[in-house]
Structure 1
Amino acid sequence: MRILPLLALACGLAAVPSAKAALADFGRCGTGLREAALAQGGQPERLDRVFADVVPDMSVLSLLDAQPEFKTPIWDYLAALVDTQRVDDGRARLAAHRPLLDGIAAQYGVDPFTVVAVWGVESDYGRITGKRPLLQSLATLACNGRRQAFFRSELLALLKLIDNGDLAAEGLVGSWAGAFGQTQFMPSTYARIAVDGDGDGRRDLVASVPDALASTANYLKRSGWRSGQPWGVEVRIPAGFDAAQAGRGKRRPLAAWRTAGVTRADGGALQVAAISDDSPAALLLPAGAAGPAFLVFRNYDAIYSYNAAESYALAIATLADRLRGGNGLVAAWPTDDPGLGRAERRELQALLSARGHDIGAIDGLIGDATRRALRTEQQRLGWPSADGRAGTRILQALRDAAPASPAPER
């Protein structure tokens, strides 16, 4: 095994003919990875085949600190994930898989709406499961950047799943961080939590909808889900409320929040079905005291454990409520430029295309080409900040504007 300089890794290396050579592209770390894989029972020839074309992908390192759950304004995040299209698609999935979901609810105690909401947020109901080769991403992260020990353990867990026959290495793709399948499990979570929902003797969260949905319910159950209880409720805080009392770790009995002047979002008395007055609850103010407020209970923590970000957990929770037939949030977000759902994003892209911008496919996904076009139009409109953000203001401005040839893009 050879040790390669970091510069060579950063520039990217061509695939090499054997796994020993390919793992050598990861330097001394590659040697350790191979030894650890063999120590947990991997066969040398199989390991060589699995890693034959695996070379470092240093682009994943920049994503470690760029997760959208922590970078995107919550009104943009929820607008994209809890839009009309995802609600309609989720209700269609509920109808199509009703017997399966009822069986899962009976076995694990998790309602169909929450299970389908996780499916919708994680992969748009199996449509978007990631494009990055898992072995490449995990090997790169195991040998570079921060959290190397974590990603090393995830890579070894993935290799064990392949050795056990749960997964095939060929064509295995997922997120940059190693989550994969219809409900995006990390390999170690897959090994501990995944179940065989269709009875074929394998745990296949990639191709089997029953396996993926049953495994999601099993995850939530093992994270403390309490059957029949809500995740939380939207509330209204009184004028002058001390926002320092908010936070997921600052729990008080439900009755104490009522005494503090917290009401239901419609102003009614704070009563929550299946939640007793002495049940602990936390107040969330994800956009500050001027935005929507939520009291959350034990089941919210189970959702939060799936991906530790408030915006993520609220996306699943509020999508589940919409799938139950709810109308969405009562309070408005504290912004004059709300985010857009995918239908509005496609309309925005169509307007940009009609003005001569080459943005590629009109698919509702805001990429670099769309952002460049948005910056050009914002500059044309004389906006003080041309940030390329896709929001309600620029959509309405382009609806109102007369067609024009685009200005030169900067």
Structure 2
Amino acid sequence: MTTQTLPLTGYRILDLTMVTSGPVGTMMLADMGADVIKVEPLKNGELSRSMGTTYVNGENRMFLSQNRNKRSIRIDLKSQAGRETFLRLASEADVITENFRPGTVDRLGIDYEAVKAVNPRIVYASISAFGQTGPYAAQPANDPIVQALSGLMAMTGEPDRPPSRIGSPYPDFGAAALLAFAVSTALLHRERTGEGQQLDISLLNGAIFSCIPRDGETLATGAAPSRMGSGHPTFAPYRSYQGADGQYFFLACFTEKFWNALCDALDNSKLSEDDRFRTNALRCENREALDATLADIFHTQETAHWVNLFKERNVPSAPIQDLHQALTQDPQVAHNNTVIEMEHPTAGTVPMLSLPVNFHGTPARYQNAPPRLGEHTAEILSEFGFSDEECQELFARSIAAGMDDGEGNDHGI
């Protein structure tokens, strides 16, 4: 076990979040030392434990990928005794995180005001699709619904095809990063002032924020970005092209320096001497002619030839890899230690992604495998001052529970 003190060591987070945005955000905080306690329902636990179709020895891969360095406690929050138990934990916590539909924590009696009454210094962070208030607040939604409303989906895809969902749950991960940022900032504010606060994080705000600088272009022109496939509305050439072997690569000439380097590398008079291509504005105006000229050139050699040539000539380009190639074959990904492995007591060796920030002075810890459901219930209750008798009563009344052995037997205490 590491003895290193990390930036968030000593902070306790009661994590009520589920699925992706919240769990990824709290995992980032846990990687930097926070004691993240997953508060899970008695039956089946957090939703991602039973979502999708990919399992390893009964453990859900979705859950495993976003819940390392956390502990698990099972509490029946729908009961009065469960609510009282949670508030007793909250009275000694630093942060509460939740991503229920707005209004749920109020009905449960564990909302910000209820927690603030027992802990005025609490930082209470809520993630939702649209925000805690407003005309959409109560509507059911998830990542692709936000992609649809934010404008992301409308600008994604080929011009002659329907709008397309982004391949990864980008709004979810934007909200996760905003959660980690917001909680860290709020804790810093509390250190300076003694004041806790409520945080309202929405996937919609994060998704629209990620559209920078498309927002400036849209508001200035009054026209929304059109679908351009892999192309770009204000740069050319800036898109994917195909080599003679059928493989794709991306070429990004976003300055005149890179355009000139491309022309030099290709040594082609059709490009360098064509008045239609002399400036970026002209290249955008004559995009179809430019793409046709480049496509003819690129079909003469395999993709690897072009990528290697452009690397030598300082032209931004890269082969278009699938995710498996990126995770398992890319030398820069390997150098960055992007994929790590952790040992799980039932799932065995579990590969997962590392924290995407390299803290040179306080590197992230990867110490504890994702918790089994209820694995730490008794341990956590004891740490928060519950006596053995109180723990036994909570277990006997099914207010709290530890791990289930699969036969209905609870071994939490």
More helix per residue: 1
- After TM superposition, the score normalised by the length of structure 2 is 0.23
- After TM superposition, the score normalised by the length of structure 1 is 0.24
More strand per residue: 2
